[in-house]
Structure 1
Amino acid sequence: MPRVTIQPRLHDLSRYVNAARSNDFHFELIEPAYPQNLDMLDEYFSDFLEKAGGAELVKVLHGPYIDISVHSPDRAVRAASAERISASIEWAKRLGAEFLILHSNHLPMLNEPAYDRQWRAGWLDFLRGQDLGDVTVLLENMWDRTPDLSLSLVEEFDSPRLRLCFDVAHWNVHGTVPLEDWLRRAGAATAYVQYGDNHGDQDSDLALGSGTVDWPELDRCLRAHAPHADVMVGVGIDDADERLQPSIDFLRAGGIHPFPPHPSPRTFPPADGTR
């Protein structure tokens, strides 16, 4: 059965540990991806492991993404990006994490075939030079309008150590193809889905069901095209307490993947945030 992950906060970790254990959830650690933590990963993980009592709950580690460009034509930028990601790969292996999430960071406004070739070649060179061990890299859509370029990278790399992460919130802002088309093309390569909601204008991290994401349609498409994908319930950083539990309740009440489906017809809370 697909697993559910949540993103804990180190300053209040015991509450997230209790929530994970009581619900049989796991952790996706995103705080080590923040720039302020990249120079002190040893300190961060030492603190985390002490407060969490070990790495048992960690299934996913989010790698650095801000200003990361392993496909840059600038050698120094490529080297700095590779150094940051390589450190996260090593920590994912040490923690026994199954997945490491990396953003595609492809700029679709550079609508040139040469740029796409450079992007693909840069990622291939980087990934082929890494010892991933048992860690599977998940390439997450960011500004991507379609899944096609990332999917072509997965196919060319031709290894189970590279799969896709589908970020619903990013798709809702930047995607140009319907959910059915996206997941019909990429569902077989999609091992992980990050749930988020917004109004299609910015990645605003609303409580799930409070934005414009069509959750019944998303549920239908995931069950049809990516039924084994694990799911992260994402509500951002600020006031996560007020949004996380309502979001989990929303998914359960609607029978949304990966929670057990409800007999049709199903009733969903309104998307305007009222419940």
Structure 2
Amino acid sequence: MDPIVIGAALRAADIETYREWLLEKPRDLEVQDFIDADLLSGDWSARVDEVKRLIDGHTGRLGIHGPFWGFTIHSKDPDVRAVVAKRMEQGLDVCDALGATQMVIHSPYTTWDYNNMDNNPGARDMVVENVHATLGAAVKRAEDMGVTLVVENIEDVDPADRRHLVESFDSPAIAISIDTGHAHYAHHSTGAPPVDYFVRDAGALLRHVHLQDADGYADRHWAIGEGTILWTSVFRALAELEQTPHLVLELRDKGGIPASMAYLKGLGLAE
């Protein structure tokens, strides 16, 4: 396995600290400022200009984390769907202004869904129908822009549910994201498979990975090496892919980036 170049998920306030590291190789960058509704509904152009200034000379791939607070993408309520659709459009506006080619959004599947969808006739199809009603316009616009919406696992127990949802769009503008800590939590706490199984199930649809370590009990976002994820198995599964997804460290304490890189370098997995 050859080492893979790793990037990070950062807010503008943190980019300057890691600017030299981001620019030394073609590292993926995910800008996370634009998850906030207040910013999206206000004048976000100054934040875009600030990010552009900070990443001048960056040669890696650029994405953003899209909005997610306070909603789900599979609501049955048409009024709620309208608000979510608006947030998706605002996120795509930012992608257009920033030059980002990827936007992370959150999976609709909950632990309750896993245990109850087959208990309620038609429930599986209803989730897909509601997501199409919510995201249909955004996916079409993303196609026209050359942007990919990547659906990140949150509570997902069976990775195939999210894959089937993404496949139902039959569009290059929607794909899969994996958060390693979320998958590890689901594995230990709700009976999901281990992280490498998530990678293999996503296969050719995997376009983005949040790298964070955890203990399987909570969403820790610890530095790599502080938790119990079996990183060699994760990177072995990634190495089997024909494509290289955006790979970004998503740590609660950004000060853990150097230690995370040192840990992965020590295993010969990343650079």
- Range into which the TM-score falls when normalised by the shorter chain: 0.7 to 0.9
Q: Which runs of 5+ in 1 are unaligned?
A: 260-275
Q: Which of 153, 161, 183 is equivalent to 1:141?
A: 153
TM norm structure 2 = 0.84
**CA–CA distance in 1 between the matches of 2:242 and 2:203?**
5
Q: Which runs of 5+ in 2 are unaligned?
A: none
Cα distance, 1:55 vs structure 2? 7.9
Q: Contact between 1:62 and 1:102, CA under 8 Å: does it hold in 2? A: yes
Cα distance, 1:26 vs structure 2? 3.3
Deviates more, 1:210-219 or 1:183-192: 183-192
TM norm structure 1 = 0.83
Q: Does 1:112 align with 2:112?
A: no
Counterparts in 2 of 1:116 and 1:226: CA distance versus 1, 3 Å: farther
**Corresponding residue number in structure 2 for 1:212:** 228
Alignment of 1:5-44 (within 5 A): 5-40=7-42, 41-44=44-47
Counterparts in 2 of 1:96 and 1:135: CA distance versus 1, 3 Å: same
Q: Contact between 2:178 and 2:198, CA under 8 Å: does it hold in 1? A: no
- Offset from partner CA, 1:205-257 (integer Å, 9 cap, x none): 11101101011111222222466223111212xx422x11110111111122x
**CA–CA distance in 2 between the matches of 1:191 and 1:218?**
15
**CA–CA distance in 2 between the matches of 1:206 and 1:179?**
16
Q: Which amino acid aligns with 2:265?
A: R
Cα distance, 1:16 vs structure 2? 2.3
Give the helix-richer structure, 1 or 2.
2
Q: Does 1:153 align with 2:158?
A: no
**CA–CA distance in 2 between the matches of 1:118 and 1:156?**
13
Cα distance, 1:3 vs structure 2? 5.0
Q: What is the aligned-residue identity percentage? A: 23
**Corresponding residue number in structure 1 for 2:254:** 240
**CA–CA distance in 1 between the matches of 2:199 and 2:242?**
7
**Corresponding residue number in structure 2 for 1:262:** none
**CA–CA distance in 1 between the matches of 2:57 and 2:127?**
37
Aligned residues: 255
Q: Contact between 2:28 and 2:247, CA under 8 Å: does it hold in 1? A: no
**CA–CA distance in 1 between the matches of 2:35 and 2:20?**
23
Counterparts in 2 of 1:128 and 1:55: CA distance versus 1, 3 Å: farther
Greater RCO structure (CA 8 Å; 6+ sep): 2
Counterparts in 2 of 1:55 and 1:89: CA distance versus 1, 3 Å: farther
Q: Which amino acid aligns with 1:125?
A: A
Q: Does 1:254 align with 2:262?
A: no
